[in-house]
Amino acid sequence: MIAVLVIGGLLLAAGAVLALVRAERGPTMLDRTVALDTLTIILVCGVAMEAAWSRRVDTVPMLVVLALVGFVGSVTIARFASVEPEGEGRVLTREEVAALEADRLRAMDEDLTSRDEENHGGSAQGEVAR
Amino acid sequence: MSVTLVLDVIAGALLLGGAFLAFAAGLGLARFPDVLARTHAATKPQVLGLILVLSGLALRLRGEPIVWMLLLVVLFQMLTSPVAAHMVSRAGYRTGKVRRDLLVADDLGDDLDAAARPAED
């Protein structure tokens, strides 16, 4: 049984590493979904193999949960996140981050300086008449 | 040569078969060219591999409530994995992530073309 555990564990680990490689390389969100789905199943197989080796029963409910979790993830991504607009989700360069920050600061300054002196502190609308 | 030993040997063979399918899926995921082909590779351990591993586990544990719970896992997987694979493949096709030159048959493309064409008769 120990030989089965070692060989099976090695095969599962190799499969998991290859799936992780695909999840890292992409190139699309759907490829990553498929790879992570496979990773979940390999996890289920690993837990089952450990349970078979030590003849334990308490990890079996975990298998039920894991079998359902992978489904929710892949359906959600396929439904809502499969369209990736060009340029979105990209890591910004240092200059782009600086430009965005400058824009934000300028907008904040304008907001502070463009105060209407007439109705300072809000208009009279809604005040209780004396 | 007791019954227990025979059952353990069968369980070991089933577990190894399931682990091999998981490895094959990893290999297919890393090597295949587009989403559809990778989905095809990923399906191997999702149903057959899981059935093999859980049968091996059931032969090792040999308790009736456990067998029912493992059957539940297989049932969930057989219900959910076709739906997930279908949605992933369809989303991939409709957002242009499928390599059309590798397809032998393209029924969805034909149907989409027919639906886009105005009715002539």
Tokens of B21: 């399918």
Tokens of B114: 């027919």
Question: Quick one: pLDDT at residue B101?
Answer: 75
pLDDT, tens digit, for every residue of B6-37?
Answer: 888 888 899 999 999 999 988 988 888 888 88
Task: Decide which of B43 and A85 is more confident.
Answer: B43
Taking the mean position of all CA atoms in its chain, how far away is CA B119? 39
Q: Cα(B6)–Cα(A35) distance, rounded to whole angstroms?
A: 36
Query: Considering only CB atoms, which chain A residues are within 8 Å of B49?
Result: 41, 45
Question: Quick one: pLDDT at residue A17?
Answer: 93
For chain A, positions 61-120, list CB contacts with chain B under 8 A: 61, 63-64, 67-68, 70-71, 74-75, 77-79, 82-83
Chain B residue closest in CA terms to A59: B66
Question: Quick one: pLDDT at residue A99?
Answer: 87
* Rounded mean pLDDT, B104-120: 78
Chain B residue closest in CA terms to A78: B88
Query: Which of B40-44, B51-55, B100-104 comes out lowest in average pLDDT?
Result: B100-104
Domain ranges for chain B, please list them: 3-116
Closest CA to B59 of A5, A48, A58, A44: A48
Domain ranges for chain A, please list them: 2-80
Indicate if the pLDDT at residue A62 is higher than 60: yes
Chain A residue closest in CA terms to B52: A45
* Contact check, Cβ <8 Å, B23/A12: yes
Question: Quick one: pLDDT at residue B31?
Answer: 86
pTM of the shown model: 0.74
Interface test with B, best of A29, A41, A54 (most B CBs within 10 A): A41
* Rounded mean pLDDT, B67-76: 88
Quote the percentage of chain B above a pLDDT of 90: 9
For chain A, positions 16-55, list CB contacts with chain B under 8 A: 16-19, 21-22, 28, 30-31, 33-35, 37-38, 41-42, 44-45, 48-49, 51-52, 55
What amino acid is encoded at A72 in this protein?
V
Tokens of A110: 């304008």
Contacts of A21 (CB under 8 A, 6+ apart): B29, B30
Question: Quick one: pLDDT at residue A98?
Answer: 85
* Rounded mean pLDDT, A16-33: 86
Over chain A, what is the mean pLDDT?
Answer: 80
Question: Quick one: pLDDT at residue A16?
Answer: 92
Size of interface A-B (CB pairs under 8 A): 168
Indicate if the pLDDT at residue A123 is higher than 60: no
Indicate if the pLDDT at residue A41 is higher than 70: yes
pLDDT band at A84 (very low <50, low <70, confident <90, very high): low
Rounded to the nearest 10°, the torsion over CA A113, A117, A120, A124 is -140
